[in-house]
A and B are shown apart, each in its own frame.
Chain A
């Protein structure tokens, strides 16, 4: 996998990344705050 010039533009464009920031914040919160628990209890 190679990072292309277009991908680099998307990665560093502040306007696009501002939306990405909101999206990632929500998604990360969903993953880490969606609970944890046992693996032994049925």
Chain B
């Protein structure tokens, strides 16, 4: 009997647990360790942040589902890694600390045959002084709790503007020079604009986008050339047209470096320090690794074998300039090269480098997006990791047959641009591949036109809503859930 331990129950961890249990059956043990008691469908948090969905619409408790499906579950956080064993247990293990229930605060050693690290990112609000959800009038939509708080604050501001007739300023975008997830902020700003318009208050609000992108539509993907309405246009032109249509101002090339109540301080690529005033801000923080430590069998720290901020996998981490980056740098199996029974799919793996061209300000500050690795690739990489582990357990040939590089994988981003059955809209963008392959597609900015396309309209809203219900159905492991692709 093999034991597979999964750290984290977000999209990657949950997908891996579901596939492993379904295919391994009762013969083998699957155990999920997560500090969160709920599964959350993160892409719908933006609708919680505008009051169109409640927390209950985007989450469900993990324990009852896992119990029903025969998946072990411990509500705990990982503390340290012992991939060679230790003086206490000779087998590879992790130490975890319970975060809830009777055992809260107690530590435990959990051994494994295979380990999947799907711990995702740490939301590094601390890297921007003053940026903290609920403080200094700044908010976040990164979790359902943050999004709920953001909606209460926005609703309160709208009521104040309504009753006093005063004007107000909204600032939405990225809260650090190295932030990623511009897509989530893009969705949120368009949804906020619609909510304000629907309330008849649009003329009272100035809405501004601020981001570390070199130009609009970069999205941490180095921008896209997309097929739209029979023409080839850049994602910059697409986003510009939407912002102009909605009366949204924008500031790009901006690394927010400090927040005071109602003031976002930022540096631009020219090295100038500037500030933007606001009454309500939603700024995506930088993401970082969790700072885990690893130890060898003698108790000596060997963190450098497992982590480089995020977890080290089969990527080429040789530092090289943007012009020499290739798709071959990106990992394919998400297996740690030092310990072949450890994998890191989703956001937990250390990328070899960004996707967007890195840029520094005149003062040497990094102001360019980190690579985004959102829901769809997280699910796909988690499934291929699960399939490789299943193969290893069943066939024992040690080969990893399932591969999936972000340089040979398509993804769809259905960005909500406003909620409403007949008044909503969405920006649907697909990209193939996710990481541009400039050798294969030299004339279309590294991506295959046709498979990389965009569309704007009501159908995009319906699609996003359909995906919300489909993926929650799948996550709840209801009948034939595995037919729905990642």
Measuring CB to CB, which residues of chain A are less than 8 angstroms from any residue of chain B?
A: 1-3, 8, 10-14, 17-18, 20-21, 24-25, 27-34, 36-41
Contact = CB atoms under 8 A, between A and B. Distances in A.
B238 to A, nearest CB: 7
A22 to B, nearest CB: 9
A20 B405 contact: no
Interface string B450-463: 01010111111011
Nearest to B234: A1
Contact of A1 (B237, B327, B384, B455): B237
B238 A1 contact: yes
Nearest to A25: B463
Given A17-B462, A24-B463, A38 B403 contact: yes
Nearest to B233: A1
Given A20-B455, A31-B451, A36 B408 contact: yes
A29 B408 CA distance: 16
Contact of B425 (A11, A32, A33, A34): A11
Contacts of A31: 410-412, 430, 432, 451
Contact of B422 (A10, A14, A20, A38): A14
Contacts of B432: 31
Nearest to B455: A24
B322 to A, nearest CB: 18
A41 B404 CA distance: 12
Contact of A2 (B244, B384, B455): B244
Given A1-B237, A11-B456, A39-B328, 17 more contacts: A2-B241, A11-B458, A12-B457, A14-B422, A20-B458, A24-B428, A24-B460, A25-B463, A28-B414, A31-B411, A36-B409, A37-B332, A37-B404, A38-B403, A39-B407, A40-B332, A41-B403
A32 B411 contact: yes
Contacts of A28: 412, 414, 428, 430, 463
Interface of B: 233, 237-238, 240-242, 244-245, 327-328, 330, 332, 376, 380, 384, 403-405, 407-412, 414, 422-423, 425, 428, 430, 432, 437, 451, 453, 455-460, 462-463, 466, 485
Contact of A17 (B238, B411, B458): B458
B457 A17 contact: yes
A38 B405 contact: yes
Given A10-B457, A21-B463, A24-B459, A3 B245 contact: yes
A12 B425 contact: yes
15 contacts: A1-B241, A3-B241, A8-B245, A20-B457, A20-B458, A20-B459, A27-B453, A28-B428, A31-B451, A32-B430, A33-B485, A37-B403, A37-B408, A38-B332, A40-B332
Contacts of A13: 458
A2 B455 CA distance: 14
Nearest to B403: A38
A3 B425 CA distance: 14
Nearest to A33: B485
B244 A32 contact: no
Contacts of B463: 21, 24-25, 28
Contacts of A37: 332, 403-405, 408
A32 B328 CA distance: 20
